[in-house]
Structures are given as C-alpha cells and as structure tokens.
Amino acid sequence: MRYLVVCSLAACLSGFSANAQVALGRQAVAPVGKPTMADMTHEETMVRTAYAKFAYASEQEAIGQLALEAGGTPAPHTGLSSDQRLALAHTSFQLSDFTVGNLSDIINRKAVDLISPPIGEMLTASTPIHSYSDYPVSTTWYSVQPQWQPATVTSPEVRNANLGQLHAMAWHTQAPTTIWQRYASYSVTVTFQGKSCGPYKALFIFGHDGQGSEMVMPEDANTDSTALARVLAVHLFPDAFLRTRMRTYPVVADWINTHKKYGATCSRGQGDVCCDLVQLECGLGSDDVADGLRQVPD
C-alpha cells in the first residue's frame, strides 16, 4: 500500500493562510516500527508515527548542526554546550483519547470541536533539507526546526464552520480526486523548551485518490501540520552521520550510540528510523548502524 500526505485546514483554525502551506502530495513511507499495543489500529499507528518522527527530526536538526560545526562550519555564539543545544531541541508529545471511525459520522460537527484552535502560541516548524558531500558519498538528511510563535485569532466564520464546510475550503482544493473516508481523533500535549500546550484536540483524515493510493492529512492547529505531514512522507535515516567522516566526530558518535534501537521492531535496510509508537521515540536501527559503520571513511 502506498501513502500520500497532504495539508491542511488546520492553517485556517490557527489563523495562518492555507496558501502559505505546501501541499506535499508525497508518497509516504511505511512506518518502520511496530506498535506494542495489540489493539492499535492502522489509523492510530500512522498518527503516532508522525508525532514520533517529528520529535526525532527536531533533535536530528540539532545534531546535524553540531556535526557541521565539528567539520569547520562557524558555530553560533550561543554560549551553550552541545548537550544543552540537544536538550533545547527535545520535543515530546503525549497522545491519548483516540477515536477512529468513518468520516461521514463527524462531517457535520463543528471543526473546532475536533481541531482545537491555538490560544496564545502554537508550535510552528520549518523542515530543512541538508546536503553533505564527502567524496564519493553525497547524502541528504531531513529535519524539523520547531519554534513557538504567536497564533492569530481564529475568525468567526472558521470558528462556526463544520468539517464539511472546511472540506470545501481545503481538502477538496488540495486533493480534488481524493475520497476521504476515515478519521482518527485524539488529544495532544506537546512540550518544547520548557513550554507546554495541551491537552488539545487534533485530527487525521484518511482516504484514497483516483489511483488507489492512500491519502493522509494531519489536522493539528497547535503543532505544525505541514511538518507532521513532511516527516510522515520521507525517510529520516541520516546516512551522512554513518557513511562519511562525520561519524568520526565525537559529538556524532556519542549521539549515534545513544539513539540505537534494537529488536524486531526495526526493519533492516529500509532507509528510515524505527519508532516505539507507545513511547513516541524513534532511533537508528542497530543493524542499519552496523551496516553504515562498515563503510570506512578515508
């Protein structure tokens, strides 16, 4: 099964223009990692994978910057140690109260009952792509760079709209050939740099396009939906940290050792991180780490 990921009417609820968001429309990767809760549905698995990978990608942004600086890139004058910078990149999520069902059952409900508008601040995020060459290896890695940002007040028109009305504004416009069929509703609490938001309500919707590919759309007005969609759609495994001279830098080697994952939940050779979907933590599969380290840099 293929997955495509798009975004999102959450921008309307958060006060940001939907036109400013990128409709990813990317083929998403299958989750690398298996839930340990026997009754976890496919929909809940996809939701948990998105938030777990968001949290991982935030720290990957910090370690990537530290790796580049270890190789000679000028470092910012933060006055912070490597450990302190990694701690500042830590993002944690708590997810609960999942309800999964047919979208038709909730389509006439008010959107704000299922997608909480932000109050005060929301966690926005850029999604940088980094390139690194160490002949003969050329690699890229993806990351997330979160920040708290003041949220604009939700307009009365949007606050009073139901999901069906907002569907006409966003879902149909961005994915006109998709038939949306299923949803997962849940509660979120996010913590980043000493601030927390939540619990608040968020939503994922699921459907199929004209080619039969499954479509997934995150709808979170408090944590950046575009970033959630991006990390769900790409492989995050950082080849540069293992297959280039970066792995010889102590800050990178230490990070790799502390982020290895073991066991059957990690699928070797898939090119992605593997995730504990209960703890919402992702890491590097130990077999993939071993494979990367067998390639000795010059």
Q: Which of 22-26, 160-164, 184-188, 241-245 has the lowest mean pLDDT?
A: 22-26
Residue 137 in any domain: the answer is yes
- Is the model more confident about 208 or about 17? 208
pLDDT digit string (tens) for 58-82?
Answer: 999 999 999 999 988 888 878 899 9
pLDDT digit string (tens) for 165-211?
Answer: 877 776 667 777 788 899 999 999 999 999 999 999 999 999 988 88
Residue 261 in any domain: the answer is no
Residue 281 in any domain: the answer is no
Q: Give the residue-averaged pLDDT of 96-118.
A: 95
Type of residue at 277: L
The per-residue pLDDT for 3 is 54
pLDDT digit string (tens) for 22-63?
Answer: 333 334 566 666 555 567 999 999 999 999 999 999 999 999
The Cβ of residue 95 has, within 10 Å, a number of other Cβ atoms equal to: 22
The per-residue pLDDT for 19 is 35
Residue 173 in any domain: the answer is yes
The per-residue pLDDT for 24 is 39
The per-residue pLDDT for 191 is 97
pLDDT value at 245 more than 80: yes
pLDDT value at 1 more than 50: no
Residue % of the chain over a pLDDT of 90: 56
Residue 119 in any domain: the answer is yes
pLDDT value at 130 more than 70: yes
Provide the number of structural domains found in the chain: 1
Confidence of residue 270 (pLDDT cuts 50, 70, 90): confident
pTM attached to this predicted model:
0.89
Residue 61 in any domain: the answer is yes
Residue % of the chain over a pLDDT of 70: 85
- Is the model more confident about 7 or about 89? 89
Mean pLDDT of the chain: 85
Residue 279 in any domain: the answer is no
The per-residue pLDDT for 23 is 39
Q: What is the distance between the alpha carbons of residues 75 and 249, in angstroms, rounded to a whole number?
A: 15
Long-range contacts of 244-250 (CB under 8 A, 24+ apart): 244/132, 244/134, 244/137, 244/139, 244/297, 245/71, 245/134, 245/297, 245/298, 246/67, 246/70, 246/71, 246/132, 246/134, 247/292, 247/293, 247/297, 248/297, 249/67, 249/70, 249/71, 250/70
Residues facing 274 on adjacent strands: 283
Residue 220 in any domain: the answer is yes
Show the domain range for 185.
3-237
The per-residue pLDDT for 276 is 92
Q: What is the distance between the alpha carbons of residues 213 and 283, in angstroms, rounded to a whole number?
A: 28
Q: Which of 5-19, 58-72, 221-235, 264-278 has the lowest mean pLDDT?
A: 5-19
The per-residue pLDDT for 15 is 57
